[in-house]
Amino acid sequence: MRLLVFKLNHLGDNVVFLPGVQALRAEFPNWQITVITTPQEKVLYENTIAPGELLTCPKLRFDKCWRRPWELAAWFARVRSRRPDACLVSFDQANVPHLLARSSGARLRVGGNLQHIRFRNTLTHDIPLPASGWVAEWNWEIARVIARELGGRDLPATPPPPDLSHLATPSTAPHARPRIVVHAGASSEFTRWPIEHFAAVATALASEYEVIWVDRPETASAALPPTVRRFAPDSLRAFVAEVASADLFLGNNSGPMHVANALGRAGVIVTGSTARGWDPYWHRERWTVLRHPALACQPCEQPSKVTAVCVNTAAPFACLRYWSVDAVTQACRETLARTGQIRQA
């Protein structure tokens, strides 16, 4: 049996998607499973998918390859050469993956459709967003349908955390002081609490804890005292290893947050426009999600539609501006205490 998987997305999308691929590999060890994903996220699949079955392309280039007919033709040829029996098309894919799945020759094509796909009949099984709204459960249900339709057992009703042990094993060694990793970046400004606020929290916590600041292009200019250690990961593997050693992750609702959640770390996130279905799915008792308690427009994003503009014209970004430095600092202390990493004073 040959399965072709389309998952060209950013870090968090792939982390939340990963349990389905890992479950299908465990259930069908003799299948040839090919995954088309993005270059940076390829490492997530390396303990599950054979090296020759991991195909990569930058997301934007793949989605826009219809503008370069020779490139699209090359992908047609690569997909057809795999002779897939089934295709799995993640719910958040663009037109090109749907077109390639339809033309692949696969009799079974399971996935999700965000209703912006221009082509008809690309899927034989179109799986809707679950009533719960959780993206992790949407991804998992797609994998469950694949397994069921191809003769496997029924997978459990809810997804397990993804296995990232090939990248890093969470540390159980005690630290001299609890360790906090701060990732203030995010790919979209609509999900980003102000960098200077994160820097102020890091500075306040550094007198009590070991604080590590993750330098990214959008966060490297932050002014920090020498008591905060700066860390610029040169790979996703290095970043995962650093997060695995943390007692607490502090950041936005973003891809790195999903890495920390998958690793079982405790965490605090400041969330604004992001749909609730993207909140930490696993180990929820270890996480504090700071969301405005009474803002009618929040969240303005939906799992099936990314926010492009703040809809609150009267008070732009009120959802993020609501949270003060003191409130976030206290949330970090309380979350560490609640999760048993330190005792209440």
CATH tag for 2-149 (out of 3.40.50.720, 3.40.50.2000, 1.10.3720.10, 3.50.40.10)? 3.40.50.2000
Instruction: Kindly state the average pLDDT of the residues 319-325.
Output: 88
Q: How many CB atoms within 10 Å of residue 158?
A: 14
Copy the structure tokens of residue 220: 């490297």
Residue 340 has a CB neighbour count (10 Å cut-off) of 10
Residue 272 near residue 288 (C-beta atoms within 8 A): no
The answer, yes or no, to whether residue 344 has pLDDT greater than 70, is no
Flag the least confident range among 27-31, 116-120, 121-125. Answer: 116-120
**pTM recorded for the entire structure:** 0.92
Identify whether 299 is preceded by a cis peptide bond (ω within 30 of 0): yes
Q: Specify the residue for token string 């700071």.
A: 290
* All CATH 3.40.50.2000 domain ranges in the chain, comma separated: 2-149, 179-338
Residue 299 has pLDDT above 50, yes or no: yes
* Fold category of 179-338 in CATH: Rossmann fold (3.40.50)
Averaged pLDDT score across all residues of the chain = 91
Asked if 282 and 300 touch (Cβ cutoff 8 Å), the reply is no
Q: For residue 204, which phi and psi values (nearest 5 degrees)?
A: -65, -40
Report pLDDT for 343. 40
Q: In what order do the strands lie in the sheet with 179-183?
A: 228-231, 210-214, 179-183, 248-252, 266-270, 287-290
